[in-house]
Amino acid sequence: MNDLLRKSIKWSVSIAVITLVLAAIFSIISSLVLNKVSWTIGLLVVLMIVLIGIFFDMLGIAATAADETPFHAMASKKVYGARHSIRIVRNADRFASFCNDVIGDISGIISGTATAIVIIQLALNFEISSGSMTEYTISVILTSIIAAITVGGKAIGKTIAIHFSKDIIFQVGKVLQFVEENFHIVIIKDKKNKKRENIRRKIRHESE
């Protein structure tokens, strides 16, 4: 129980730090981009941020819905990406937490901030006075549209993720293997390997 709590706290702190860093990076980049483009391009940037959130939300749900059994058969045949797909499913809780809670929530927050910037740019472009009914109406309409796209997109994404979880995770597994082989970056470690390492460490410690 204590070990589980310790791991949970460690993961929570890690994910909080990652969220802090990524949120700062995305916020700075989006603000810099939006301040240098027209409101029409800014609106496209907002939509892109929303789509990123929807996409990662879909990945997180697919990980929790997928079954690792089919990937074992593929891994036995040494199919490219199969072993990494197994890693994703075995670490579905953390993978989903990163995709849904970190990227998904960051996208939602930044899209809201970006929408506000677009509204200001739109008001300045058409010389709409600040605090006027026109600006308020534009703000309500744009915010409502972005919210509708976000919620509707995530609803569609969930349906796709549940029904095509195997195919989605398999494609992600291919990407992870490509990154690991070409850039030597291990994004998700195999839980079984971790357990083996821990057992070996215990044996060494006891023998000493």
- Residue 75 pLDDT > 90, yes or no? yes
Alpha helix locations (H) across the chain? 2-34, 39-65, 69-76, 82-90, 92-96, 105-125, 133-163, 165-183, 191-207
How many angstroms separate the most distant Cα atoms in the chain? 78
User: Which residues fall within 8 angstroms of residue 81, CB to CB, at 6 or more apart?
Assistant: 170, 171, 173, 174, 175, 176, 177
User: Which residues fall within 8 angstroms of residue 92, CB to CB, at 6 or more apart?
Assistant: 63, 64, 66
Nearest CA to 90 among 70, 74, 61, 66?
A: 66
Nearest CA to 46 among 89, 110, 101?
A: 110
Residue 9 confidence (pLDDT): 84
The residue type at 77: K
Share of the chain above pLDDT 70, in %: 91
Place of tokens 């589980």: 4
Cα radius of gyration rounded to whole Å, the chain: 22
**Mean local confidence (pLDDT), 42-54:** 95
Residue 2 confidence (pLDDT): 72
- Residue 23 pLDDT > 80, yes or no? yes
Residue 208 confidence (pLDDT): 54
Q: Are the CB atoms for 83 and 193 separated by under 8 Å? A: no
Lowest mean pLDDT among 32-46, 55-69, 156-170: 32-46
Most confidently predicted of 29-38, 165-174, 180-189? 165-174
**Mean local confidence (pLDDT), 123-127:** 89
Q: Residue 202 and residue 104: Cα distance in Å, rounded?
A: 39
Residue 188 phi/psi, 5-degree rounding, is: -125, 125
**pLDDT grade, residue 68 (50/70/90)?**
very high
Residue 10 confidence (pLDDT): 85
Residue 203 confidence (pLDDT): 47
- Residue 28 pLDDT > 50, yes or no? yes
Q: What is the pTM of this model?
A: 0.85
Lowest mean pLDDT among 48-52, 168-172, 186-190: 186-190
Lowest mean pLDDT among 30-34, 139-143, 161-165: 30-34
Residue 77 confidence (pLDDT): 94
**pLDDT grade, residue 1 (50/70/90)?**
low
Q: Give buried/exposed letters for 55-93 (b at 16+ CB in 10 A, else e).
A: bbbbbbbbbbbbebebbeebbeeeeebbbbbbbbbbbbe
Q: Residue 147 and residue 54: Cα distance in Å, rounded?
A: 12
Q: Residue 141 and residue 162: Cα distance in Å, rounded?
A: 32
**Mean local confidence (pLDDT), 36-53:** 93
